[in-house]
Structure 1
Amino acid sequence: MKAVLQERFGPPDVLRLRDVDRPRPGGGQVLVRVRAAALNPYDWHMMRGDPYAARLLGGMGLRRPKHRVAGIDAAGVVEAVGADAGGLRPGTPVLGFCTGAFAEYACAEAELLVRKPERLSFEQAAAVPMGAVTALRGIRTVGQVAAGQRVLVNGAGGGVGTFAVQIAAALDAEVTGVCSAGSVEMVRSLGAAHVIDYARGDFTGRLARYDVILDNVGNLSPSRLRRALTPTGILVANGGGSPGRVFGAIGSMLRVAAVNAVTRHTLRPIAPATPGGPAREDLLAVTALIEAGKVTPVVGRTHSLAETAEAMGHVEAGHSRGKTVITMP
C-alpha cells in the first residue's frame, strides 16, 4: 500500500510517499481503508519534532519520530476487525483518531472511531476529529458557554475556529468571529452574528465585552485579551498551533496558568484534542450536532496523498481556511 513516511524530524520534505506493508489490526483495533485524512497543527509539530519539551514526555519520539507513518485524523471504511472491536464490522463507514492516517490503510483503536454521519462526504468527515473535538472542549467543556452569552472566537476561519463558531451558535450564544478578510462571509454563514477582519480592527480596543473568548491564534498576550472580557469573563487559550521550539504550546499554557493566579478573570488553557480522555464521548457529541444539521465541517483545500508535504507546508504557514484534507485514490 502507499503511505507517507517520516524517518526523521524536519521540514515538510522529510515526508516521503513509499510502498509499505498493510498493517494488521490487533486486539481492540480495526483496519480502516482510509478514504480521506485531515491535517492539523498537531501534525506539523510531530513532523518538526517540536517543542523539544514534548519529546521528553515521550509522545513524539526523542531522536526520531515515534510513528513512521504520519497523520491522525481519518475517515474511511472498516476493512477488517481484531478481537474485541466493539460493534464495528467490515463495511462500516467511520471517522475518528487513527494513528498513521496518511496511508491507504491504517489501524485504529475501535473506541476512537464512530460511525460517519450519512450527510457528510469522506472529505468532510476526515475534517471532524481533532478540530471539532478541540472546539467542543473549548466552547462547551472549558468555556461553559450558555445561551445568551457573548462569545468571541479569535481565528474563526481556521480548522478549530469554524467548528467553534457553529458549536457556540448551536448553544444559542451571540458569536463574534475574528478572521482574515477572505473568510469574513464564510464565518458569517456559519452563524456568527458579528465578524471582525483582524487586519482592520482590534477587538481588544473596542467597547464590546465578551463572556467567553476562545483564542486559537496566540498572537495577543493574555493581559491584552482580558481587556475584551466582562468582569466575570473566561479566556480559553487553545495552544495547539503555538510556536516555539523549546516549549511551544506547553509554554503558552503555563503562561495562561500563571496569569490566572493573579487576576479576577478566569483563564483556562485547552490542549489540542488527541486520543485519550473522553475522546469517544466528544466524538459522539460532535457527530450528533452534525446529524442535527447544526454543524458542518468546512474543507478549504484538498490534496492527493502524493501532495501531503505541500499540504503540510500550507497548514504550517497558518493560513488554512477551514480544514486541509488529503484524499486517497
Structure 2
Amino acid sequence: MIKHVAAVVGGKAAAFELGVVCQAFGLDRSDDAADLPNYDFAVCSPSPGPVMTTSGFSIHVDHGLERIAEADLITVPAWPELDRVTPPPLLEAVRSAVARGACVLSVCTGAFLLAEAGLLDGRRATTHWQFTNRLSDLYPNVQVDLDVLYVEDGPLITSAGAAAGIDACLHLVRREFGAAAANALARRMVVPAHRSGGQAQFIEMPIPTATAECGLSDLINWIQANLDQSLTVEVLAARAAMSPRTFARRFKAATGTTAHRWLLDQRLQLAEELLERTNLSVDAVAGRAGFGSADTLRHHFAVRRGVGPATHRRTFRSG
C-alpha cells in the first residue's frame, strides 16, 4: 500500500507536471467526505534549496534524496534538462528504491531519467510524442510505445504529455485503492476518471465534453441511468431523433469516441463500482451493467483491466 510519496526535481522543475503529482498525492484530504487516501508527500532534489521552474518562478525544495529511500512511490514530474548529466546519486537512489519494491511514476520526459538509470531496459514505456523518437534513439533497449497515454510495466509507470500524467496518477490510485477512490479523486480534479485511447491527434474520451452543443446532454444522462438495457446505435439514434449515421457522427464529435466504445467504458465503470460496493453475483453485476452474461463481462474485464471481475472484487472490495 502506498503511504510515502516523493516527487523528484532536478536543477529545473516542470511547473505543471509537478503540480499534477502534488494535486494527486500532495493534498491533505483527511476531511473529505469521500474518504480519499492521504499520503506523506514531499518534494526532493539532489540539491535542496531554490529551484527554478520552466515557467520562470522558483520554488524552495526542503528535502534531499533521503526522502527517496523511505518512499513507496517516487514520481518524476518531467525532466526538463535532457542535455545535462543526471547526478549519479539520484540515479542510484531510484535504482535502489525499485530494487526494494518501490513504484516509480514518470510524467512526460521523466521517462528519460528512468531510462538513464537503466530501469526501462527491456520494458515498455512512453513519453510525450515530441520525444518518443529521441527516447528510442538514446535508449534502444527500451520498448517505446508511441501512442498511449501511459504504460505500466512492472513497478514502473511512464506517461505521455502533461495531462497524461493525470491519467497515470488516477490509474495508480485505481489500482491501489479501487475505482471509487479514483473516481472521487477525478471529480475533485474535474477530469475524466478514465480516458481510452492514446496520444494521437484524436484522443478517445469516454466522458463527453461538448454534449450540450450537440444536443446530446439529455441522452447521455438517460444512457447512464439505463446501462442495463440493449443500447444499439439505432436505439440511441431514434431516441435522439436522428438518423443512425448523423447520430454516430455527432456522438463522436461530442465525446471523441464511438458510441460503442463509450458505452463499454461506462459499463465497465459501473461493473467495478457494483463489484466493490455490493454483494451481487458476477452474473447479476453483468446484467445490471448491460453485459448480458458473466462470460461477456469477464472477457471485457480481462481485455481492458487485465484481471477478472472476481479478482477485482477481492482486491478492491470495501468493508
**Higher helix proportion, which one?**
2
The TM-score, its normalising length taken from structure 2, stands at 0.31
The TM-score, its normalising length taken from structure 1, stands at 0.30
The one of the two structures with greater contact order (alpha-carbon pairs below 8 A, sep at least 6) is: 1
